Amino acid sequence: MVYKSVVRKALFRMHGGDAERVHETTLAALSALSPLARFVRRAPAGERTVFGVRFPNPVGLAAGLDKNGRALPAWGALGFGFIEVGTVTRHAQPGNPRPRLFRLRASEAIINRMGFNNDGALELANRLDRLGPPAVPLGISLGKSKVTPVEEALEDYQASLRALHRHGDYFAVNISSPNTPGLRSLQDRAALTSLLSGLTATARELAGSGTPKPLLVKIAPDLTDSAIGEVLEVCAEHGVAGLIATNTTLARDGLAPADRALAGEAGGLSGRPLAARAREVVRFVSRETDGKLPIIGVGGIASADDAKRMLDAGASLLQIYTGFIYEGPGLVRRIVKSV
């Protein structure tokens, strides 16, 4: 209640309401406070092992909130059971022109067209070298650089995987952001087959005589059931360890009347309006794979009840982002306590 009535109001007014500047300021503050995180001790709650990785609890930080891994210790101290950094690309890039991040307050949603702004894979690897491993599992989301043609996407992903391999507990192959031209075409069968064939081979090579680190595929909520079915077939053919469902949506369904003026902004929508569709996709994937393919469920989780419904749909793990912005750190604790 304190977060929503005091802290959130102050944050949303900061910098004249510029959502991206507030995001950057908050990350800087969390980064500065990170040394204190080592004094926080949290007992595991809901511990589970998924795709060979032990998670102290099933609630993770979704990719996009801490793209460059600036505040890793802080996330664990806030109760997250795992962290996903990125999406990171082979080449550092500034992303799309500002403004590119918009709050739809009445709908508890966000539209973003960030465009994978990040410091690049090598810089992230250097930062992780300096910080050392976080207290909870670390996932790394990999994407395609904007300057790289779609036809050369495999080499781009492979370079990032090689640079960051020693740091990640799992790697997410992001082929579903709507904000990089041509990226979603990598969800098509032929392109995805080529991409996953090359990436799984690289993962085996990097593992040497050990077990390859898990590769997961992150899909869009806007795919039809038949398209998702094709993605699942390709994933099965190449031994993909899991699926992340879902990314942001291009749809604008379920927005509150007060937010319709922003509906025309380009970019992906996240938050409460995405919840039902994200659960539908998770339920479909779980049914099509007989529950054998682990799923990280993400999209519209803003309460403990939302989390339970996502788990009931078939998710093994959860991720939050927009819900964290609107509900604050207490959301993590409420979900962990309930599951």
Summarised one tens digit per residue, pLDDT across range 82-103 is 999 999 999 999 999 999 999 9
pLDDT for res 272: 98
pLDDT for res 3: 85
Per residue in 94-130, pLDDT (tens digit) is 999 999 999 999 999 999 999 999 999 999 999 999 9
What's the mean pLDDT in 254-261?
A: 96
Q: Are strands 59-61 and 317-320 parallel, antiparallel or unpaired?
A: parallel
Is 115 annotated among the ligand-binding residues?
yes
Active site residues: 177
Lowest mean pLDDT among 29-33, 162-166, 271-275: 29-33
SS3 call for 24: helix
Q: Which residues pair with 242 in a beta bridge?
A: 216
pLDDT for res 67: 97
What's the mean pLDDT in 69-77?
A: 93
Go through the domains of the chain in sequence order and give each one's CATH number. 2-338 (3.20.20.70)
pLDDT for res 46: 86
pLDDT for res 39: 61
Helices 225-237 & 275-288 angle (0-180, nearest 10): 50
The position carrying tokens 């994407």 is 143
Which residues does 135 contact at the CB level (< 8 Å), separation at least 6?
Answer: 37, 73, 76
- How far apart CA 23 and CA 300 sit, in angstroms, is 19
pLDDT for res 36: 74
131 burial (CB, 10 Å; 0-12 / 13-18 / 19+) is middle
**In angstroms, how far apart are the furthest CA atoms of the chain?**
57
pLDDT for res 41: 57
Per residue in 214-231, pLDDT (tens digit) is 999 999 999 999 999 999
The position carrying tokens 């505040």 is 71
**Length of the chain, in residues:** 339
Which two structure tokens, joined as six digits, stand for 231?
A: 């993605």
Is 250 annotated among the ligand-binding residues?
no
Contact 270, 321 (CB under 8 A): yes
Is 156 annotated among the ligand-binding residues?
no
Per residue in 23-49, pLDDT (tens digit) is 999 999 998 987 777 666 565 578 999
pTM of the model: 0.96
Is 322 annotated among the ligand-binding residues?
yes
Is 112 annotated among the ligand-binding residues?
yes
